[in-house]
Amino acid sequence: MQLDSKIPAGSLAEKWTKHKFNVKLVNPANKRKYDIIVVGTGLAGAAAAASFAELGYNVNAFCFQDSPRRAHSIAAQGGINAAKNYTNEGDSVHRLFYDTIKGGDFRAREANVHRLAEVSNDIIDQCVAQGVPFAREYGGLLDNRSFGGSLVSRTFYAKGQTGQQLLLGAYSALSRQIALGKVKMHTRTEMLDVVMVDGKARGIITRNLITGKIEAHSAHAVVLATGGYSNVYFLSTNAMGSNVTAAWRAHRKGALFANPSYTQIHPTCIPVHGTQQSKLTLMSESLRNDGRVWVPRTKGDTRKAKDIPEAERFYYLEEKYPTFGNLVPRDVASRNAKYMCDQGYGVGASKLAVYLDFKDSIKRLGKKAIEEKYGNLFDMYQQITNSNPYEEPMMIYPAPHYTMGGLWVDYNLMTNLTGLYAIGEANFSDHGANRLGASALMQGLADGYFVIPYTIGDYLATQKYDKIPTDHPEFKKALDENKAHLESILSRKGTKTPDEIHIELGRIMMNYCGMSRTAEGLQEARKKVQQLQHDFKNNLKMVGTNDELNITLEKANRVEDFLELGELMILDALNRNESCGGHFREEYQTPEGEALRNDNDFAYVAAWEYTGGAGKDPVLHKEELEFENVKLTQRSYK
């Protein structure tokens, strides 16, 4: 299989403009003859569905939650980047492009990242026009804050609820189109399969989560906006329902899965406590604007934070990285936290935590200013930990948060399956091996509002108007297969619950394929995951039927895909004999303990082809990354 990224010719800054001119257009009067399916209604999905409908296409949108407004984009706290340069610090499209590609440790496509930086400004305009209440200065102009991996303040924010406000903006646009009848919304509906007819994606199979009904939906193109797969770790900052099923089922149908081992472990999360925890909570990266990260200078120091004098505090990020200090990129911050704890400097009951201290900021700016900026985060922290961060420093530890890997897509965001698109976190395209803070919202909305509305037209313009009825043999076959598969899962009457298997999988993935990885560990992990796959098949405990709201079946259905994905992540991590961004192989590090890339051998996208699952190894396809505009350097934030 030859991977064609379809990157337009021309200079970097002109590619997107030229491409927009070169794409084929669908006559406005003909757009209503095309149907598009959008799965997922987060930032990317809601923005795309609303924009398609505005253009005139007929849209069927799907989400597993009870409302499109619940998608997990809503939980993004800190902000969204744009190259507006409102702060007069010398920001530009090129600087945002450069910061993003460097932040991604030079493992992303230049052309995609540049396009992202180009449309970033349009996103802010669009959202403001929708009534998103971004933070403002007293004069009425928009305010900015700084985020990790950048030396300019380019992050727009709405309190600590930026994701919520942006999503509600996209949701309102979507709601308008639902009322107009241009979008048919299917809530509490989970995608089970992609249906291919004559080599093109022409529809999906879904399960109604209330009635259990398995249904077929036909369209001219299918867009997956189904988010990331951090829940492979069971404990993550993702929502409980976030899953890889839609993307994985597409993968099983032939869509390549790219860079699955690029996962982001976010540095500032509330540490794990106890053994029954279901979920980890993020504390926004914006906290690192004013909080200082430290551990005691003495190993195993059991004194309370406030009893440790200033001279005995090790502000390790500020000392090691004087230029970026506490605002180093996430992978660097996370790795350092883990390193400190592994060395025995960790704090708290589990010793798996470092301090994030606001004492100095409160002294400098006053409690009121800190409260205004981070009040809701501080409240949330106190609610969960029963400790007051105004009085004692927060305790934080890294947690799985975002996945840079995802379905392989070309410049048009189409997967290698004709007519099947992947946007937002579900694709692999823009963040390389590490995502910078406040860039996920940017990418989701860029894909949804400003990229796919153009590129999908380029494809649809070449397609006939014919609609495929859902009693077509391919649909019937897919329906039958999926029904039979769910029945087979339901028939298992073993002893392990889906959650038990999921928790075990998460533990394996975190230990061996988390913040640091070794070839040896990964090989062992693969065996363990295979054992779990075996357990899932032979020793799964199920109840209920398929004709009802069955939460056990929902979980099992998702866990099955995580089990297969987990193995692929391990294989990908094994294959990548280098360290880059979020992928840190202990064998490959600089003397200072930083990630050591191998650009000669690994400057490629690893896109994996499914070949039948358990026992059959997937096939690796490489898309070489070409860097013509940036010089590949060892990342330095010192």
Partner 1 sequence: MEHTGRSYTIKVWRQKNAQAQGSIQTYPLKDISPDMSFLEMLDILNEQLLQKGEDPIAFDHDCREGICGMCSLFINGRAHGPLTTTTCQLHMRSFENNETIFIEPWRAKPFPVIKDLVVDRTAFDRIIQAGGYVTVRTGSAPDANEILIPKAIADEAMDAASCIGCGACVAACKNASAMLFVSAKVSQLALLPQGQSERKQRAERMVAQMDAEGFGACTNTGACAAECPKQISLVNIARLNREYLSAKISSDNVEEYVPIK
Q: What residues numbered 523-552 form the site for partner 1, per CB under 8 A?
A: 541, 543-544, 548-552
Based on CB atoms, which residue is closest to partner 1, 9 or 129?
Answer: 129
Interacting span for partner 1 (CB under 8 A) from 153-161, 289-297, 391-399, 415-423: 153-161
Q: Are 525 and 512 in contact (CB under 8 A)?
A: yes
Among 47, 111, 221, 340, binds partner 1 (CB under 8 A): 47
Based on CB atoms, which residue is closest to partner 1, 243 or 259?
Answer: 243
Residues contacting residue 207 through CB under 8 Å, at least 6 positions apart: 189, 190, 192, 213, 214, 215, 482, 486, 557
Out of 330, 335, 435, 517, the active site residue is 330
Based on CB atoms, which residue is closest to partner 1, 293 or 451?
Answer: 451
Cα separation, 256 vs 108, whole angstroms: 16
DSSP E strand stretches across 270-358: 292-296, 313-314, 354-357
Of residues 378 through 397, those in contact with partner 1 by CB under 8 A are 380, 383-384, 386
**Residue 457, token pair as written in the block:** 């037209």
Q: How far is the CB of 630 from partner 1 (least distance, A)?
A: 28
Cα separation, 292 vs 510, whole angstroms: 26
Cα separation, 266 vs 329, whole angstroms: 10
Among 153, 164, 206, 427, binds partner 1 (CB under 8 A): 164
* Under rule CB under 8 A, residue 442 binds partner 1: no
Q: Are 52 and 483 in contact (CB under 8 A)?
A: no
Q: How far is the CB of 78 from partner 1 (least distance, A)?
A: 13
Based on CB atoms, which residue is closest to partner 1, 302 or 383?
Answer: 383
Based on CB atoms, which residue is closest to partner 1, 360 or 548?
Answer: 548
**Residue 166, token pair as written in the block:** 């942006």
Of residues 281 through 310, those in contact with partner 1 by CB under 8 A are 281-282
Based on CB atoms, which residue is closest to partner 1, 142 or 632?
Answer: 142
Q: How far is the CB of 50 from partner 1 (least distance, A)?
A: 7
Q: At what angle do helices 498-513 and 551-575 cross, to 10 degrees?
A: 20
Is residue 330 flagged as an active site residue? Answer: yes
Q: What is the DSSP string of 381-435?
A: HHHHHS--TTTS-EEEEEEEEEES-EE---TTSB-SSBTEEE-GGGB--SSTTSP
Q: Which long-range contacts (CB under 8 A, 24 or more apart) does 88-92 make?
A: 89/151, 89/152, 89/153, 90/152, 91/152, 91/154
* Under rule CB under 8 A, residue 176 binds partner 1: yes
Q: How far is the CB of 517 from partner 1 (least distance, A)?
A: 28
How many residues sit in the footprint of partner 1 (CB under 8 A)? 84
The 203-242 site mask, x for binding partner 1 (CB under 8 A), equals -------x--------------------------x-xxx-
Residue 446 gets which letter from DSSP?
Answer: I
Interacting span for partner 1 (CB under 8 A) from 90-98, 337-345, 470-478, 493-501: 493-501
Of residues 344 through 363, those in contact with partner 1 by CB under 8 A are 349
Of residues 123 through 142, those in contact with partner 1 by CB under 8 A are 124-142
Based on CB atoms, which residue is closest to partner 1, 66 or 360?
Answer: 66
Q: Are 321 and 638 in contact (CB under 8 A)?
A: yes
Interacting span for partner 1 (CB under 8 A) from 161-169, 338-346, 471-479, 579-587: 161-169
Q: Are 282 and 356 in contact (CB under 8 A)?
A: no
**Residue 492, token pair as written in the block:** 């298992």
Q: At what angle do helices 519-538 and 551-575 cross, to 10 degrees?
A: 150
In terms of Cα–Cα distance, which of 285, 291, 262, 637 is closest to 438? 285
Q: What is the DSSP string of 58-110?
A: EEEEE-SSSSGGGSGGGG--S-EE----TT-S---HHHHHHHHHHHTTT-S-H
Which helix (H) or strand (E) segment holds residue 530: the answer is helix 519-538
Based on CB atoms, which residue is closest to partner 1, 418 or 552?
Answer: 552
The 500-519 site mask, x for binding partner 1 (CB under 8 A), equals x-------------------
Among 37, 43, 178, 441, binds partner 1 (CB under 8 A): 178
Interacting span for partner 1 (CB under 8 A) from 11-19, 155-163, 309-317, 432-440: 155-163
Q: How far is the CB of 396 from partner 1 (least distance, A)?
A: 15
Among 54, 371, 599, 609, binds partner 1 (CB under 8 A): 54
Catalytic residue list: 330
